[in-house]
Amino acid sequence: MYTLGEFIIENRDRFLYSTEDLLRLFSSIKLAAKAINKEVNKAGLTKKIGSSGITNIQGENQQKLDEFAHRVFIESFKSRNVVCGIASEESKDFIVIKGEKENPFQKKYIVLIDPLDGSSNIDVNVSIGTIFSVYLKKTPIQMDLRIEDFLQKGNKQILAGYIIYGSSTILVYTTGNGVHGFTLDPSVGTFYLSHPKLHFPEVEKIYSINEGNYVRFPNGIKKFIRFCQEEKDNRPYTARYIGSLVGDFHRNLIQGGIYIYPKTALSPNGKLRLLYECNPMAFLTEQAGGKASDGKKRILDIEPFKLHQRTPFICGHVGMVSKLEEFMNNEKK
Ligand code: P6P
């Protein structure tokens, strides 16, 4: 079985940038993922569950493990000397990673990260995940970091992925050459190729949405939900929603389905953040043969204007996403 490192080297000809750099980026990500996995698996014992008592930039109750995961990723990227800046859900502003002057590796990568998404599920033992997105620095290397380095369209990503901390810990990524999954063998601390060339199944099977918000949804979304529930053709579809984007996404990628977090009357821009949740998941979606939009526009083409901006987010099976967009478009007429 390939390890993640062996797989990257085996496929180095298909990566547009330096394989050495990609290995260093993954060295940081793997190190952090293993540290977080260890804590997530025993959170109940180490009292790391529950709220930290801090409200984060999103106005959400920061969990102790959120803060821990944030710190672990910052430290692991610092130690590998390959990243020049990080934007995190847990930090209001971007973080500059100062390098040593003699650093042989020109630090030209930007990372945007949700260190621990779905963390409200920690206390109830439901799968949670890390989501990461990597770009080349946009402004000249020798220039100080600027916000423009982070406000890049999703179609400029060079690497995106997630780690799901569930019944097993799986790292899933894309560099634009398909989507591949690696399962952690905790006994040796190594990620092994377990899901090569992940692709959304043809079957239209699952729809994932928080129907508790039904009355606040736009009419086009309400019509799509009723479409999913009709007794016709291969419907009704199965409803599955665990309140953890990484968990819902990973299940739909394996079994076939659509994930929907639309705008509502209370959240006109939706809840999910464009830069470190929707863009990476959209890159993975398209590389796995799916479609990702805000209900009208392709996610990867959205021009960002602020670090923590939100967007409505629909991703998954091409036919299901297109059907939802049809309902949304007819809404206007
Ligand atoms: P709601 C977790 O907070 C998250 O960002 C995603 O992981 C998840 O899909 C969504 O929000 C759940 O939100 O409003 O349905 O509880």
Write down the H helix ranges in 200-317.
219-229, 245-255, 279-287
- Is the same domain home to 180 and 239? no
- Do 184 and 247 belong to one domain? no
Which residue range(s) make up the domain with 302?
Answer: 206-332
Per-residue exposure over 12-31, b if at least 16 CB sit within 10 Å of its own CB, e if not? eeebeebeebbbbbbbbbbb
Q: Is the CB of 210 under 6 A from ligand 1?
A: yes
Q: Has residue 200 been placed in a domain?
A: no
Give pTM, 2 decimals. 0.95
Q: Is residue 296 part of a domain?
A: yes
Dump pLDDT digits (tens) for 61-98. 666 888 999 999 999 999 888 899 999 999 999 999 98
Considering the domain boundaries, does residue 201 fall inside one?
Answer: no
Verify that 17 and 156 share a domain, yes or no: yes
In a domain, 180, yes or no: yes
- Dihedral sign for Cα atoms in the order 41, 43, 49, 53: negative
Of 163, 158, 140, 157, the closest CA to residue 38 belongs to 163
- Give me the CATH number covering residue 20: 3.30.540.10
- Taking only the tens place, the pLDDT of each residue in 11-56 is 988 888 889 999 999 999 999 999 999 998 886 666 666 666 666 6
Q: Which of 156, 171, 195 is the last residue of a domain?
A: 195
Note whether residue 238 is domain-resident: yes
Q: Is 131 in the pocket of ligand 1 (CB under 6 A)?
A: no
Element (H, E) at 181: strand 179-185
pLDDT at 59 over 70: no
Q: What is the Å distance from ligand 1's center to 259 Cα?
A: 11
Among the three residues 195, 230, 263, which one is the final residue of a domain in this structure? 195
SS3 210: coil
**Shared-domain flag, residues 158 and 294:** no
| Residues 101-128 pLDDT 10s | 555 556 789 999 999 999 888 888 899 9
Which atom of ligand 1 is closest in space to residue 246's alpha carbon?
A: 7
